[in-house]
Each structure stands twice: as C-alpha cells, then as structure tokens.
Structure 1
Amino acid sequence: MLQRYGTDKIGFLFAPIVTVWLLFISGVGVYNILHCNPDILHAISPAYMYRFVRNINKHNWRSLGSILLCIAGSEAMFANLGHFSKKSIKITFVCCVYPVLLISYAGQAAFISKNWGTIPDFNHLSSSMPDHTRHAFVVLSLFASAVGSQASITASFSIINQLLALKCFPQVKVVHTSDKIHGQVYIPDLNWLLMVLSLSVTVGFHKVDAIGYATGMAIVSGMLVTTCLMSLVISLYWEKSLFISACFLIFFGFFEAMYLSACIWNFHRGAWYLVMLSVLFLTIMLAWHYGSMKKYEFDIENKVSSEWLTDSRVPGIGFIYTDIVTGVPAFFSHFITNLPAFHQVLIFVSFKPQPLPYVPSDQRFLIGRVGHKDYKIYRCIVRYGYCDHIRDTDDFEEQIIHSIGEFISLEEKDFKSITFEEGKMTIVGKPGSEGNAAYALIPVNNSMSTASSSWTSKENTNTSCHPGSEKGPSTNAPVRRKKVRFVLPPESPKMQASVRDELQQLVDARESGTAYILGQSHLVARNGSNFVKRLVITVYMLLDRNSREPPFALNIPHAALVEVGMVYTI
C-alpha cells in the first residue's frame, strides 16, 4: 500500500529500519563470535571451500542450492539502478552490506559450532539471538522483511517499465513518482499481482523450505543469464576479443552452472514453481513482442503513397493516429478503399515517447507534409516525456492546428519546402509564442462545453507522474474542454496570397468539425502456419483485448471517433 508514494517518499521511512537492522545483526554477530568461537573467522579462507568440493557427495551437492540463499536479497540492490545511483550502491555494498553479512553469518556459524548436536532443528539466526534481544529481533525482523520485499517490488517495476519501452509487455499504467530521478516508477497492476503471487506461494507451499528452493533457482538463473549477456557486451559493445569474452563466460559460468545443477536436484521440491512462472511470463513477452513487431512490419510493407488517395473530399479535419512516420498506414488505405471519401484536411499524428520527464513546448511538435501542398495532408509527430499528460489537456488538437499554421507560415521563407520530401520534418515553437506563428491562427470566443465527452480525468492516462510531483497536476478534479473558434488576423503585407489561402482552408476545415480515426488490428495466422505461431498470435490477441488503450486514445470524444477494423494476416 505504500508503493504508490514512490521510493523517494518511503525511503525516509525504510532507511532508518535498514540501518538499525544492519547494526543489530552485526552487533549480535560480533557477540556470538567473541562469546562462542573467535576462531570461526578462519573459515573465511577459501581452503575450506576447496575441502567441501573435494569431499562432495549427492547430499552435499544438493546443499549448494541452499547456500545461494546467503546472498538472496543482496542482488536486488543492483536491480534498483533506476532508483539509486551506481556510486551509492557500490559504496553501500562494499562498506556496509557485505561486512555486515560476513559478520552476521560468522556469528551464526560460531553459535552452531558451540551448540552442534544439542538442538536437532532450529533457525540459525533466531536461535543465535541472546535472550535479552529476542523481542527486539522479532519486531525488527518483521520490518526488515517488509523493506526487503519493497526492494524486489521496485526492481520488478523497473523491469516491466523497460519491457514496455521494448514493446515486450502489454500496456499497463505507469506512474513516474519523481520528475528528477529517472526510473522511479510505480505500476499499480503489477503491485497487486505481486501480492497475489506472494500469498499464493505462501499458502500453497506451507513451509519455507520449498520457497527457499525456488528462490535459489531464481538467484542462480538470474546470475547465469547476466553472465551470458555480459559476455556479449564484452565482445560486441566493448569490442574486446572473443578470447576475453569466452574466458569471462567460462570462468563465471562454471561456478554458476555448478550451482544451477544443484538447484535442479531440488526441482520437485519447489523450484518447479519458478519454472512455471518463467514459462508463463516468457510466453506473454514473446507473444506481445512478436505480435507488435509483425503488426508494425505489416503497416510498413503495406503503406501506400499519398498519390494513391482519391479526390473525394468532405469538409472538416481528420486526425489519423498511426505508429508509422512515413507513408499512409494500411488501415487508412483499407478505410478509403471501402469508403472512398476523406476530409478536406488530413493530419497523420504519431506519438513518440522520450526518456525525459518533460519535453519543452517549443520542441514537442514535428510538422511536415505528406505529398504535394495541394493535397492538404500533414504529418505531426508529438514528442512527450513520461511526466507529460499528452491528451490530458483541453486544447490538444488546437495545439496541433496552431503548430501546422506556424509550419505553413515558416514554409513561406523556405522555398525548398515547396517540393516536399517524405520524412522531412520541422520543429515548430509553442503556439502563441513570439515568432512567425503569431499571425497564423488566433483563438477567440472561448466557451464551456456541456457534452459528456468534455470531462476528463487524470486517472485515465497510461503514463503519468505522481500526484505530488511539482509540475504535475495537483488535483483529480474534472476539467472542462474548451471549444475554440479560429479566425485569421487582418491582411498582412508580409503574407503571400498562397499562404493566406492555405491558412484559410485550415480555418474553414476546423470550423466544419473534427473526426478521429483509429486503427483496430485483428491478427490472423496465415493458412498452413504451425502450432507455435498460431498459439503466439492467439495469446497476443487475448492480451491486446484485455490490456489498456494506448495513451493517445484516451479522452477522445466518442461522437467524433471512428475505429477502422482491419485483419492483419501474419
């Protein structure tokens, strides 16, 4: 329940708990070392590890999987790079976490060596606590467990956020809890899913041993995957020799493969649950990535040129939302083929997220033409940061139209733009700011809309900042959408007649009304496809129907919305 406040908020609460807990277990460790067996520090020598491996047997080999639990949780620090800097993690781990763990485990080993055989089965940490500290240990351990789970939860948020950027996970709501530290996110859906999974594991297994085996498998699997990927980074990104990359993979991979084999022995004791979850999430990731890429490739391969469009025009402006930034999308050509008429002015709108909290207003819109000037077809690429509410405004379309008006005005000074090249875009400034756009379009006669579609709420956005953010909206109260009427200013001697005519046509089209055209994809496997391909496409369609809408589809008036369904044969 505290996750929604963000790491920077709850960190003030958790940091003292972690500090007290580390000091507590290190103090108890020092006490046990001095009181039970000071010679236990000699066990740090690698010679004892060599003796263990030399006298290995089936029973001892299985225990290697449990040894991995000694580092469980510490690896979560490095998964939180989006929440803390690398320098802070290095200093904390080397100077604090690692020495404390070493002292704590040495104290437990000293206690076991003194009480060997007296207690048949006990929890090493709790049993090693002195009598006068047991009550404090119970309270601190509960709080420390909550802090440890918080580290894993925030790491999961970071991973899902990266998967969304790579189009490997269905659309979920992402709340950026800080506009200063990039990567601090909160995902409500995942937060409650983790709670359900945690409760199901606890209720299903009944005992901690099975959970420990699954945890050991998770740790060593993550380590092995990281080693394999790091070897690729060494050879491909760092451009080192294949020999160095192979040595790195063999050296670290040998130890990790040894621990992985030990965990496989415990597969039937609880590690199977991790494998089941891994297969489930990998299937979701594979299906979503495969479907998204195939859909995008289909749009690219089946796009048509602007010359293909017919001359049947109807009054008004049509906003066509698409992912591609060149050509006419396939779903729109499908729409024109079956209904050969389109609006007087067409605007192809594409949304491109940027790894920034906010994109300045004077750099948000990229405007260009599609085809010849006489077609009156424009392309607008909207760049936004993860804290920008791109459609949570009352004049989003008016901003785009203002930007197009400024683009037309700027084009007057650049005669090369008359012969427009596909893909060439121009950054336009903030509408209404000082510059060439000051005389393009002027909003007048603002009025309040009473239609049901004029009410918007911040909670509808897929990606947002925490309500407490300095620049984000501070309230969830509904916002009324303003209706804006545009007129041209008086005659200007600096404006050419062709520019004025095009601006007038833009104004007339805006006055005639606006329509929003969205493409709805339906993926179908081609006849003769194998079972795996059909399964992946089926999973993708199931996820697509039950995931959130993309952010640009939010708050569009239903009366002006046209959804064009199209079958994508993959």
Structure 2
Amino acid sequence: MNATTEAPPTNTGGQDGAVKRTALLAIGAIGVVYGDIGTSPLYALRECFTGPHGIAPSHENVLGVLSLIFWSLIITVSVKYLVFVLRADNRGEGGILALMALVAQRLRSGEAPRARPLLVTMGIFGASLLYGDGIITPAISVLSAVEGLSVATPIFEPYVLPITLIILLGLFLVQRHGTGGIGNVFGPFMCLWFIVLAVLGVKELVHNPSVLWALSPVQGVLFFVHNGGHGFLVLGAVFLVVTGGESLYTDMGHFGRTPIRWAWFALVLPSLMLNYLGQGALLLRNPDASRNPFFLIAPEWARYPLVALAAGAATIASQAVISGAFSNTRQAMQLGYCPRMEVVHTSAEEKGQIYLPGLNWMLLIGVVLLVLGFRTSSNLAGAYGIAVSTAMLMTTCMAYVVARERWHVGRAVALPIMLVFLTVELFFFSANAVKIPEGGWFPLALAAVLFTLMTTWKRGREILAAKLRAASMDLKDLLESFQGEHAPVRVPGTAVFMTGNPEGSPPALLHNLKHNKVLHEQVVLLTILSEDVPHVSSEERVEVQPIEQGFVRLIARYGFMENPSIPDILKKGREKGLQFQLMSTSFFLGRETLIPSKKPGMAMWREALFSWMSRNARSATAYFRIPPNRVVELGTQVEL
C-alpha cells in the first residue's frame, strides 16, 4: 500500500470513505509495522528478571520495571516516533536512509554544509546496524515462541531448535512468492494477537489491580534509588520493549502517518501495557513465574494454542524485518552505496513489494548460524538492543537537523526536545553496551563490515567516475572533429551509449570509433541519475536534448525507491520525440577491468575490495533490463 495524501473530505460520504480507508490502512499497519514490537512480550519482561543482569522479582522491583517499560513506550515510541519523527518524511517515505537523503539534500546548500559528511556517515552506519536487527529479530522471535512448548511440557525441550529452524527455513523459502498473497491475513492475525495479549493481561490484572501503581513515574525513580548500578543494567532488558520502534518510521511510506498513529494508540499500546501489567501481576502473586511469565500467564489448557499463535506472530514480525532489509538494500543501490543486485518485483500493483534472492539467502544463513550459535532466546537477548539503540540515537540527531533546516524550528525549542530523547536513548545505549561481550558484538561487527563495504563502494564509484571523466573527450570537441574529411562512416540504426557523465562523451563511444571506425545515424547518450527523493514524477522522468549531427542526450531520473528500466526510459523518450526502432538499436556498455594501484584515492586493500565487488555485481544488462541480444560491451582497464 502506498501512502496517500490526507486531504480533508468535502462531504459526509467522502468523510466516511476516508475514515474507512484509514481504518483499513491501520489494520494493515498492525500486521506489518507492529509485528516486531508486538512480539516483545514474549521475552522482554522475562529478561528483566532472569537475564544476565536480571533482578529479583520483589514487589518493588516488579513495579519499578513495569514503570520503566510504560514510560519507555510513552517517551520513545508515542512521543518521539509517533509525534515527531513521523513528520520527517522524504516525500512520504521514511527510514534512516530516506532521512539521510533528506538531510543531505537540505545541507547541500544550507547553513551547515560541513555537517553533511558526518550526518551522511551516521545514516549509512545506522542502516548497516539495522541489518543486524534483520537477522536477530527472526531468530529471537521464533525461538521465544517455540520455547513455549517446553513451558507446556519438558518433553518438547529437545525439539525446540529443530522446530525453530524448520519455521525459519519455511519463512525464507516463501519470500520469492512475495508478501502480497499472505499480506491480506497479516493485519487480522496480528489484531487477534493483540486482543489475546490484552485478554491475558486483564485476566491476571483483575486479581491484583495494585500493579497499576506501576504507571506512576515515581516507581521508576524509586527503582533506581533502591537498586543503583544494578538497576541501570536492567535498562538493557527494558529496552527490548521498544526495539521495533524504527519499523514505525521505516514503513511509513506504505501506510501513512495517520493509520500508524491510529493503530498504536487504539490497539497496540493498550494491548502491550495490559499484557505487561498482567505479567507483572502474575509475578507479584508467584515470583517463580519469572522463568517465562508470558506463557505462564495463560491457563494450562490454552498454552498449546498460544504457542501456535505466538509462532505465527513471530513469523509475521520476522517478515516485516526481512521486507525492510529488502527495501533498505534497494535504497542503498539507488543512492550509490551498494552494488547492483537482482531485484524481483513480486506484485504488479505494489511497487514496494520486492524480493532480492541474494540478500534473502545471506539473511537465512545468518539467522541459522545465529540460532545454532546462541541456542536460546535468553542468550540472543544479549545480542539484541545495541544495534537498535545506536540507530535510534542517529535518527534523533538527523531529525533535529530536519527540524532546524526544513521546519525552521528555533534552537530554543528543538534543542531541549532533542536533549530529552537523547538522554533517554543514551541511558539505553549505555545499558546495552555492557551486552557487547555477551553477544552485542555480533550486530556491531556485522554493521562495521557492511559500513566498510558500502562506503568503499561509494568512494570507489566516485574515483572510477573521475578516472573515466579524465579519459573522456569533451562532446563539443568530438563533434567538431567529425567535420570535413575526418567524418566517420555512418551506418543505419540507433546506438545507445550509457554514461554516468551527462556532459562529456562516453568512453565506450570513443572505443567504438577507435576500433570499429563507424558511427550510427542516431547516437543516444543515456544518463540515469539517482535523486535524493523516493519517487520522481512521470513528467520529470525523462528529458530529451537534441544536440547535432544525429546526437541526442537522454537523461532519466529515478528516486531511491524506484528501479531503472531501459525499456521504460525509451518508451518515455519516444513520447517526447525520440525516434528509433528497437530492432535496429544497439546498446553499447563499457566494462571496466579495475586494477588496484598506489595512486591517491583509497588504500590498496579497499581498492582490491572495490574491484572484487565490481566483478560480483549484477551486470548492467540484467539490472537495467536491456534486451541482451542488442548489447555490445567494450572493455577497458582502469588503474584506481
């Protein structure tokens, strides 16, 4: 689903239709956006009392932890994301890469251009961190759900890992079919999940309503007073209740701000808090239930159905994170931070529904290794949190820049608000930092590797483009050289030369003239530009610039949420006056053999890495959907 412009209705019927559409979008958001945060009750409260830094489930501690959970959800999710960050959209799209592109765009000619490289670096590293979340979320969510079987009966304990791996394998195998077919049941299923969460919480809450005192912030303050440093360490487990917060922003483009807000305040937040309060009431009555309060809160007869329901909810939560990884990767490709990969569109109607086979199998391998390495959801909780807390810090900093540069909010207003969010998130980050030896190293190491790959690719492409520009010839000079007796032989048909430089002449054109000594009657110089916006309008997509002597410059613009297509570009060009016959058109591409050197640019090891990434990138022919039987590739060697 795409975000729609929320215009005020002009009549009662229109208002009813708008409300109905918003409600349907809200249900869809419940199924996709809130899957991750919605499965946190499976393990979050348990980790506060039984994790590596767990605390005794005394009356004061239970109320204190519940207070911290409630106010974390209010400050971080309700206020920061739902009220403020969702306003920082890039033409309707959200996510840390969309925010980075927006910040870079605003600062390119703004008041603080020196801050641009730092903020872009933060955005790239933040996106790298979220891949770790994309691997850990399926592992911990599904493992937590299946572990409910061992709560129901110890007989199933040896089968927890095999069942988890089978579910995860099935999840990744169905990715190639897309989310369109099963997406229709995500919303209703997750609505059922949240209703069950609320019912289970109320069932226990009515027996011990005194747990409602936990909603007072005083209980959170007293928790720190009584427990000191140990209480601070528990924040690392408390943070697990907000780990899906970034998804609210990432998936904004699919549903829009209003449906996401409706879903949160009308169903998700009340259901989560009722369940956490119910688990707390159970602990006040039976402290031994801290080993797994989520499943022990249910009647014994309902535990097997609850395991099945939890497994379904965990699978949906995993699906949302995997789809987010696909979308982030496509954005990174279009922004120039990732090599070309195969992108399969799984829906003819929804452009956002894509599947990346290579990334899918890499995620599956990572998830399987993670499950086999950590073996329990409690062990995985040690690796969970540090990546998301770091990404949240970066989102806050970039959102502050947007508030100052785009919304023109005064520093006296924007700075105090940002400091509140930063203070909370720095506490969470510091508490999660102690998890690094326990598993938190994994998402950080993965992020460091991905950050290195992404920045190396970006810098390598810049160096390569500069080398090719230096080796090219000014188009005006080239055309002047065709005058008189030096005019090349012209052959019938159209030649399309792809070039990243919209000003000069493509190296492939010069090589063709040098070796074949002919020129087609019509020469099209095609440049595809990626803009710092998610989508480019149809009217702005293609620009046709006739030059002279049969030369035409064709410039196509795409947003970072779109995939370029040569057939579509040529179709648009024809609508704007470009004359050609596809069967008499040849596409000339340059293929560079990259040679690492000691010349200024990058370190030798990064040049070797860039060369390896270039060799393994998807071919331009396949990526741009060029008819393969019409392609001519001309190779050249380039020293980096």
Q: Structure 2-normalised TM-score?
A: 0.64
- Indicate whether 1:212 and 2:381 are aligned: yes
1:365 to 1:130, Cα distance in 2 relative to 1, 3 A: closer
| Partner Cα distance (2:562, 2:331) in 1 | 16
The structure 2 residue matched to 1:30, chosen from 179, 191, 202, is: 202
Given the superposition, is the C-alpha separation of residues 350 and 389 from structure 1 closer, same or farther in structure 2, using an over 3 Å criterion? closer
Equivalent pair of 1:232/1:245 in contact (CA under 8 Å)? no
Deviation, 1:93, is 0.8
1:541 aligns with 2:599: no
Describe the shift of the 1:541–1:14 C-alpha distance in structure 2 as closer, same or farther (beyond 3 A): same
- Change in 2 beyond 3 A, CA 1:209/1:295: same
- Tell me if structure 2 keeps the 8 A contact 1:223–1:256: yes
Task: Report what 2:237 is aligned to.
Answer: 66
Alignment correspondent of 1:83: 254
Q: For residue 311 of structure 2, what is the aligned residue in structure 1? A: 142
Residue of structure 2 equivalent to 1:54: 225
> Which structure 2 residues correspond to residues 425-436 of structure 1 after superposition, within 5 A?
428-429=576-577
Residue 521 (str. 1) matches residue 521 (str. 2): no
Judging changes above 3 Å, is the alpha-carbon distance between structure 1 residues 364 and 281 closer, same or farther for their aligned structure 2 residues? closer
Change (3 A) 1:59 1:154: same
Counterparts of 1:247 and 1:74 in 2: how far apart (Å)?
21
**In the TM superposition, what are the counterparts of 1:195-344 in structure 2 within 5 Å?**
195-303=364-472, 304-308=474-478, 309-310=481-482, 311-317=487-493, 318-333=495-510, 336=513, 341-344=518-521
Displacement of 1:5 in angstroms is 4.2
> Shift of residue 208 of structure 1?
1.7
* Equivalence for 1:563: 633
Q: Are residue 376 (structure 1) and residue 545 (structure 2) matched?
A: no
- Partner of 2:365, secondary structure, is helix
- Matched to 2:389, the amino acid is V
The structure in which a higher percent of residues are helix is 2
Q: What are the Cα deviations for residues 171-207 of structure 1, in whole angstroms up to 9, with x where unaligned? A: 1222344565553333232223222211111011122
- Partner Cα distance (2:418, 2:563) in 1: 42
- Give the match for residue 342 of structure 2: 173
Question: Per the alignment, do residues 327 and 528 of structure 1 end up closer, same or farther by CA in structure 2, a change over 3 Å counting?
Answer: closer
The count of corresponding residues between Structure 1 and Structure 2 is 456
Say whether 1:9 aligns with 2:178. no
After TM superposition, give the deviation of residue 22 of structure 1 in Å. Answer: 1.0
From 282, 285, 292, the counterpart of 1:114: 285
Instruction: Give yes or no for contact 2:564–2:624 (8 Å, CA) kept in 1.
Output: no
Structure with the greater alpha carbon radius of gyration? 1
Equivalent positions of 1:419-498 (< 5 A) are 428-429=576-577
**Alignment gaps of 5+ in structure 1:** 404-426, 432-440, 444-481, 484-509
> Shift of the alpha carbon at 1:389?
8.7
> What CA deviation, in whole Å up to 9, does each residue of 1:310-336 have, x standing for no partner?
523253443322222222124433554
In the alignment, the residues of structure 2 paired with residue 364 and residue 74 of structure 1 have an alpha-carbon distance, to the nearest angstrom, of 34
Q: Which residue identity is paired with 1:541?
A: S
Deviation at 1:130, TM superposition (A): 1.7
| Mapped pair 1:99 → 2:270 | yes
SS at 1:228's partner residue? helix
Q: In the TM superposition, what is the alpha-carbon distance from 1:391 to its structure 2 partner?
A: 5.1
CA distance in 1, matches of 2:603, 2:418: 33
Q: How far does residue 225 in structure 1 lie from its aligned partner after superposition?
A: 1.3
Higher relative contact order structure (alpha carbons within 8 Å, sequence separation ≥ 6)? 2
In structure 2, what is the equivalent of residue 472 of structure 1? none
Q: How has the CA–CA distance of structure 1 residues 108 and 187 changed in structure 2, closer, same or farther, with 3 Å as cutoff? A: same
Q: Which amino acid aligns with 1:65?
A: G
* 1:151-166 → structure 2 map (5 Å cutoff): 151-166=320-335
The match for 1:350 is 527
Aligned pair in 2 of structure 1 residues 540, 239: CA closer, same or farther (>3 Å)?
farther
Preserved CA contact (<8 Å) 1:391 1:552? no
Q: CA deviation at 1:364?
A: 7.0
Q: CA deviation at 1:137?
A: 0.9
Q: Hey, what's the Cα distance between the residues in 1 that align with 2:524 and 2:185?
A: 50
Instruction: Give how far 1:567 is off.
Output: 3.5
SS at match of 1:323: coil
Counterpart position of 1:194:
363
CA distance in 2, matches of 1:328, 1:211: 54
Contact kept? 1:302, 1:329, Cα under 8 Å:
no
Of residues 295-304 and 162-171 in structure 1, the stretch that sits farther from structure 2 once superposed is 295-304
Which is richer in strand? 1
Letter in 2 for 1:527: K
Q: Deviations over 1:378-419 (max 9, x none)?
A: 3234568988994569xx98x79x94xxxxxxxxxxxxxxxx
1:63: how far off? 1.6
Secondary structure of residue in 2 paired with 1:183: coil
The alpha carbon displacement at 1:109 in A equals 0.4
**How far does the alpha carbon of each residue in 1:484-535 deviate from its partner, in whole angstroms, 9 at most, with x for none?**
xxxxxxxxxxxxxxxxxxxxxxxxxx5xxx54321112444553548x6333
For the 8 Å contact 2:507–2:590, the answer to whether it is kept is: no
CA distance in 2, matches of 1:210, 1:271: 10
CA–CA separation in structure 2 for the residues paired with 1:347 and 1:222: 43
Q: So what's the TM-score if we normalise by structure 1?
A: 0.71
SS of 1:140 mapped into structure 2: helix
Q: Following the alignment from structure 1 to structure 2, what is the Cα–Cα distance between the partners of residues 388 and 271?
A: 35
Secondary structure of the structure 2 residue equivalent to 1:82: helix
CA shift for structure 1 position 20: 1.4
Partners of 2:605 and 2:589 lie apart in 1 by: 27
Cα-to-partner distance string for 1:344-363 (whole Å, 9 max, x where unaligned): 54332334579669958xx8
Instruction: Tell me which amino acid in the other structure corresponds to 1:380.
Output: L
Kept in 2, the 8 Å contact 1:177–1:186? The answer is: yes
- Report if aligned partners of 2:178, 2:355 keep a CA contact under 8 Å in 1: yes
- Displacement of 1:102 after TM fit? 0.4
CA distance in 1, matches of 2:258, 2:280: 32
> Any unmatched runs of 5+ in structure 2?
1-172
Are the equivalent residues in 1 in contact too, given 2:530–2:557 (CA < 8 A)? yes
After superposition, give the CA deviation of every residue in 1:424-473 in whole Å (9 maximum; x if it has no partner).
xxx72587xxxxxxxxx8x8xxxxxxxxxxxxxxxxxxxxxxxxxxxxxx
CA 383–286 in structure 1, closer or farther in 2 if over 3 Å, else same: closer
Equivalent residue letter for 2:617: S
